[in-house]
């Protein structure tokens, strides 16, 4: 692996993840690199148009060039293209916020959404990444992965909980039973876990190779999406996910 490329991409990721421009000293400390090394990497990123330097503070941030490449990639994403019409139909049926999430390792990434009018809906931006075990959207995908992937996801989430990065998980056996219940039901439910007072339901999307690659999700306030209404809408959500799967080439044998 080319370490220079790795370091450059890591710097770029740090800039993109930060809400504020970053300084050379701060980045060098976080990455355990010399300031001169970080400065060279930043200078290269500026020259290539991926980063910009604030002339007043001397700190660095990303440019819209990253968004440009991300948008082009997203606009060609086959799962998103397959789901567009089915998400629209689901939204018209339920009048709630609808999401499409894709699995990426132990995380999920939000790749499309149709906003409902519920002021209590979860605010999730397209491009946002969260651990799969933290949401119904992620568990609907994770439940159908192999045992090693599930074990790694539970371990990673447990470590994050211990560090205070995320709310506490249930014990590993309970988490595995929850995932087993999703496999039996064919969909995942969340009651105020990702955000208090907000409930959601998600169903897996299958690729042509028979693997769960994404999930179709609805969420809304607990007053609107009561447990009873979620059960009623489960057929709509699973149908939207099934139609997306068929568009991707998945066939039930």
pLDDT tens by residue, 125-146: 888 888 999 899 999 999 999 9
- Which pLDDT band, with edges at 50, 70 and 90, does 17 fall under? confident
Strands (E), 142-211: 188-191, 198-206
Six-digit token string for 83: 């789901």
Q: Are 38 and 28 in contact (CB under 8 A)?
A: yes
Mean pLDDT of 235-246: 97
pLDDT, position 186: 96
What tens digit of pLDDT does each residue of 64-96 get? Answer: 888 888 777 777 889 999 999 999 999 999 999
- Looking up tokens 């941030």 gives 61
| Superfamily (CATH H level) for 77-247 | GAF domain (3.30.450.40)
| Averaged pLDDT of the chain | 88
- Which pLDDT band, with edges at 50, 70 and 90, does 248 fall under? very high
pLDDT, position 210: 94
pLDDT, position 87: 96
pLDDT, position 169: 63
What tens digit of pLDDT does each residue of 146-185 get? Answer: 999 999 998 887 765 554 445 556 678 889 999 999 999 9
pLDDT, position 77: 85
For domain 3-69, give its CATH number from 1.20.1600.10, 1.10.3720.10, 1.10.10.10, 3.30.70.1070. 1.10.10.10
pLDDT, position 125: 80
SS3 93: helix
Q: Where are the domains of the chain?
A: 3-69, 77-247
Cα separation, 5 vs 125, whole angstroms: 28
Mean pLDDT of 109-138: 84
pLDDT at 124 over 80: no
pLDDT, position 163: 47
Six-digit token string for 136: 């119904």
pLDDT at 61 over 70: yes
pLDDT, position 83: 95
Neighbouring-strand partners of residue 214: 102, 205
Which residue pairs, CB below 8 angstroms and at least 24 apart, start in 8-12? Answer: 8/41, 8/44, 8/45, 11/38, 11/41, 11/42, 11/45, 11/51, 12/45, 12/50, 12/51, 12/62, 12/66
């Amino acid at each position: 692996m080319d370490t220079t490329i790795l370091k450059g991409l890591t710097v770029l990721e740090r800039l993109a993840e930060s809400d504020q421009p970053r300084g050379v000293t701060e980045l060098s400390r976080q990455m355990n690199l010399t300031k001169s090394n970080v400065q060279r990497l930043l200078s290269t990123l500026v020259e290539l148009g991926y980063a910009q330097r604030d002339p007043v503070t001397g700190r660095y941030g990303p440019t819209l060039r990253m968004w440009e490449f991300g948008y082009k990639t997203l606009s060609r994403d086959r799962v998103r293209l397959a789901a567009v019409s089915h998400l629209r139909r689901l939204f018209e049926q339920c009048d709630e916020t609808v999401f499409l999430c894709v699995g990426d390792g132990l995380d999920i990434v939000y790749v499309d959404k149709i906003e409902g009018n519920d002021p209590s809906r979860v605010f999730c931006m397209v491009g946002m990444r969260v651990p799969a075990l933290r949401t119904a959207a992620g568990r609907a995908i994770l439940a159908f992965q192999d045992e090693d992937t599930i074990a790694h996801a539970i371990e990673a989430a447990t470590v994050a909980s211990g560090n205070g990065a995320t709310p506490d998980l249930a014990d590993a056996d309970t988490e595995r039973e929850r995932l087993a219940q999703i496999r039996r039901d064919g969909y995942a439910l969340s009651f105020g876990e990702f955000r208090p007072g907000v409930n959601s339901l998600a169903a897996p999307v299958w690729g042509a190779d028979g693997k769960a690659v994404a999930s179709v999700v609805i969420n809304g306030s607990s007053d609107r999406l009561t447990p009873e209404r979620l059960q009623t809408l489960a057929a709509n959500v699973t149908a939207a996910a099934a139609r997306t799967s068929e568009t991707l080439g998945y066939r039930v044998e």
